[in-house]
Amino acid sequence: MANFNEEYILTMLRQIHYPGFEEDIVSFGVVNEVNIQGNRVTVNLKFNTKNPDTKAQVKNAVQNVLKTELPDMRIMVMEGIPAMAGPQLAPPKPNDPWAGRAAIPGIHSVLAIASGKGGVGKSTVSTNLAIALANEGLRVGLLDSDIYGPSVHIMMGVDEKPMVTPGQKLLPIEKFNIKMMSMGFILDKDTPVIWRGPMVIKAVDQFLHDVEWGELEVLLIDLPPGTGDAQLSLVQKTPVTGAAVVTTPQEVALVDARRGYQMFRKLNIHTFGIIENMSYYPNPQTGEPVYIFGKGGGPKAAEELGIPFLGEIPIEPEIAAAGDLGIPIVAKNPASKATEAFRQIARRLLERGLLERVAK
Ligand SMILES: Nc1ncnc2c1ncn2[C@@H]1O[C@H](COP(=O)(O)OP(=O)(O)O)[C@@H](O)[C@H]1O
Ligand SMILES: [Mg+2]
């Protein structure tokens, strides 16, 4: 536990001058909130200026000062998060097609992980990316909404069921620093698929609003694969901040990934970019990447669509093994190439405004 308090951090932040002014950033009113939890310090800034250079200058200065003074802590500098209350949405206009999307109290950002088809590694990416984001100092939740094959609880090695609080709320299961809830907890494997569509929408709505998530910076949702009605209604009803589309390098998968992107576009939801899974096989002798399915499919598709390419993840038997074992690779082997790939993708998402965009 940290042996210092918020006051102490404020004292350090008083060393930083607001650009172009005599006053320090605390006196200037830029520091909205300081929060210490375990080994994470979160500084929330609130700017009156819209000047991106000024903002960047202050954010960097805060990072640098705190990193230097507190080398063992994880420092998160965020902007514009109203005191732990989740995004404030503008009141819906009459006939607003998004009026059904209510913000979830306490949850700042919702990242939907989608794929055009099953089997491309959407759940592998969801679990590992969730842990990679938590490693960046964020409070992270993970919701498996895949009605056809919920697997997140298996990959995270969870076999207990969530408990119900006296207030009739479900308690998410915590593991690897992630709060998790899964369709797998409530779906019977004998439930006919035809029931699952309508069921999932109702269930996901309950998962979002009747689960005691607490305060989260990011909730990842592992969506059902595909771009059909079930996916569409689900995303339509959820206050999603943005989506990431998972694909493999094969052309058939890329066609589906494009379809995934089109679905979000139609719904006016931001797509953060494309994640390519099973991009290459590292040569066991040399570690050199061998692009068995051809190189550059994911980046090319991203470029065509005008969206970022977020990164490539190698094929590694250890990824599948870790999944089967119930310990995702990012938790199991921090030194692996795959872990590094997930870390980079997590950082790119943060750079691309995962915490700064407002849910639609
Ligand atoms: N990069 C990878 N390297 C090796 N195996 C992988 C990789 N990504 C996924 N897998 C394996 O492929 C299978 C399908 O992945 P999964 O994440 O369940 O896909 P989806 O959720 O898209 O259906 C799983 O057995 C998983 O362990
Ligand atoms: Mg899956």
What DSSP string runs through 82-131? -TTT-PPPPPPPTT-TTTT-PPPTTEEEEEEEEESSTTSSHHHHHHHHHH
Nearest ligand by distance to the CA of 114 = 1
Distance 96 CA to ligand 2 centre (A): 32
Percent of the chain with pLDDT over 90: 51
Distance 118 CA to ligand 1 centre (A): 9
Whether residue 51 has pLDDT greater than 60: yes
State the pLDDT at residue 193. 61
Which residues, at least 6 apart from 153, have a Cβ–Cβ distance to it below 8 Å? 144, 159, 173, 180, 182, 184, 185
Distance 290 CA to ligand 1 centre (A): 18
Neighbour-count burial for 127-155, b at 16+ CB within 10 Å, e otherwise? bbbbbbbbbbbbbbbbbbbbbebbbbbbb
Bridge pairing between strands 309-313 and 40-45: unpaired
Euclidean distance between CA atoms 349 and 266, whole angstroms: 22
Mean pLDDT of 282-287: 90
- Decide whether any atom of ligand 1 lies within 6 Å of the 312 Cβ: no
In the chain, which residues fall in CATH 3.30.300.130?
6-79
Distance 149 CA to ligand 2 centre (A): 6
- Residue with the smallest CA separation from ligand 1 atom 6 is 320
Exposure of 174 by Cβ count < 10 A (0-12 exposed, 13-18 middle, 19+ buried)?
Answer: exposed
Euclidean distance between CA atoms 342 and 349, whole angstroms: 11
Whether residue 348 has pLDDT greater than 80: yes
Mean pLDDT of 295-306: 93
Chain Cα centroid distance, residue 360:
16
Mean pLDDT of 280-293: 91
Whether residue 40 has pLDDT greater than 60: yes
Nearest ligand by distance to the CA of 128 = 1
Ligand 1 closest atom vs CA 317: 4
Q: How far apart are the first and last CA of the chain?
A: 37
Higher pLDDT: 133 or 169? It is 133
State the pLDDT at residue 272. 96
Whether residue 82 has pLDDT greater than 70: no
Topology of domain 6-79, per CATH? GMP Synthetase; Chain A, domain 3 (3.30.300)
Residue 204 one-letter amino acid: V
Q: Out of 113, 124, 155, 223, give the residue to mutate to test ligand 1, the one with the largest number of ligand atoms within 8 Å of its CB.
A: 124
Nearest ligand by distance to the CA of 276 = 1
| Residues, CB-to-ion distance under 5 Å, ligand 2 | 122-123, 146, 151
Percent of the chain with pLDDT over 70: 89
State the pLDDT at residue 281. 94
State the pLDDT at residue 196. 61
Distance 173 CA to ligand 1 centre (A): 22
In the chain, which residues fall in CATH 3.40.50.300?
107-351
- Decide whether any atom of ligand 1 lies within 6 Å of the 124 Cβ: yes
> Rounded mean pLDDT of the chain?
86
State the pLDDT at residue 91. 46
- Residue with the smallest CA separation from ligand 1 atom 19 is 121
- Decide whether any atom of ligand 1 lies within 6 Å of the 336 Cβ: no
pLDDT band at 88 (very low <50, low <70, confident <90, very high): very low
CA angle 316, 322, 327 (to 5 degrees): 145
Mean pLDDT of 298-317: 95
Euclidean distance between CA atoms 194 and 352, whole angstroms: 38
- Decide whether any atom of ligand 1 lies within 6 Å of the 323 Cβ: yes
- Residue with the smallest CA separation from ligand 1 atom 23 is 119
Mean pLDDT of 133-161: 92
Residue with tokens 């943005």: 242
Q: Hey, what CATH class is 107-351 in? A: alpha beta
Distance 121 CA to ligand 2 centre (A): 7
Ligand 1 closest atom vs CA 118: 23
Whether residue 319 has pLDDT greater than 50: yes
pLDDT band at 303 (very low <50, low <70, confident <90, very high): very high
State the pLDDT at residue 189. 64
Among 20-24, 102-106, 249-253, 282-286, the minimum mean pLDDT is found in 102-106
What is the DSSP code (8-state) at residue 316?
-
Whether residue 92 has pLDDT greater than 60: no
Higher pLDDT: 38 or 315? It is 315
Whether residue 119 has pLDDT greater than 50: yes
Structure tokens, 334 = 């921090």
Whether residue 85 has pLDDT greater than 70: no
pLDDT band at 90 (very low <50, low <70, confident <90, very high): very low
Cβ pair 10, 26 in contact under 8 A: yes
- Decide whether any atom of ligand 1 lies within 6 Å of the 253 Cβ: no
Euclidean distance between CA atoms 276 and 188, whole angstroms: 31
Nearest ligand by distance to the CA of 120 = 1
pLDDT band at 188 (very low <50, low <70, confident <90, very high): low
pLDDT band at 97 (very low <50, low <70, confident <90, very high): very low
State the pLDDT at residue 50. 79
Helices (H), the chain: 6-13, 52-69, 122-135, 152-155, 183-186, 193-209, 229-237, 251-266, 297-305, 317-325, 329-332, 337-351
Higher pLDDT: 197 or 37? It is 37
